[in-house]
Amino acid sequence: MTTTQRVHLIVGGFPPGSAAGHDMNYARLRLLQTLQDRKDIAVTIANDFKDIGRWLPGTDLLMTYVAGPYPEGAGNAALQDWLEQGGRWFALHGTSGGKAVKGERDGRRVKQMVKAEHHQTLGCFFLNHPPLRAFDVAVTADHPVTRGVPKHFTVMDELYMIELQDPGASRVLMTTELEKDPSPPGFGFVYDDDTSLQADGKTRVLGYARNVGTGEVVYVGLGHCHTGRTNTQSAVDTSIGTEGVVPPEFRGVWENDAYQKLLSNAIAWGTEAR
């Protein structure tokens, strides 16, 4: 008799119902299609982390693709406890974000991300991303999520600059090289120090695995997509082949075989017997 595993999928933006600059419908559909390949999986779906404590009991794998929503208070505590007891969390893209505050710097209106309790649970904190660009990804460690993924592949995406919260306990799975944030003035988010830059002065972490009790978190920063209706990009790098014009529809890594392999691997890792 086949045992049914349960996956809880959270895809959504903030405010509730907002796309928050992403094609949430497309991301949700693609993730559900990948989950559908496994007939032994039951899936529950949410738009944010509200009542997350209600859904975690009996859940084997939590998958999140969000831009704004984040667990807080009792919800974050429930998530931490679930991980410590063996839960697995596959977190994508904007899950490393959360709340931003508006302010002024050098006479310009700016936004800056605020570090919160959920960043410690997740294990990273989002600083900023440059305009959409092409960049190389290096797979740097063997893990069930990266197994069978090419050691090197090129993507077009938002290059997420993340600060590891527990670097000593984080196994870096994927990196890229970017010596300096090339964001033009007024683009994206400001930050006080570039704490995503590694000691060699060029490496950025794109994905990592981190044990939490008997559970584990795997975070992968790749995954931007948008439509003309949902796009909030004001600039792109010329390396993506559009002469600096923001494409009206962008699906980037979602059309990359290596990314699809990462997603399939993550589902297998999160629902394997343990």
- In the numeric block, which tokens belong to residue 108? 């310009």
Domain 5-271 in CATH 3.40.50.880? The answer is yes
pLDDT-derived band at 199 (thresholds 50, 70, 90) equals: very high
Mean pLDDT of 161-179: 97
pLDDT of residue 241: 77
Per domain, the residue ranges of the chain are 5-271
Q: Residues 109-151: pLDDT tens digits?
A: 999 999 999 999 999 999 999 999 999 999 999 999 999 999 9
Does this model's pTM top 0.85? My answer is: yes
For residues 41 and 38, what is the distance between their CA atoms, to the nearest angstrom? 6
pLDDT-derived band at 2 (thresholds 50, 70, 90) equals: low
Task: Identify whether the C-beta of residue 15 lies closer than 8 Å to the C-beta of residue 47.
Answer: no
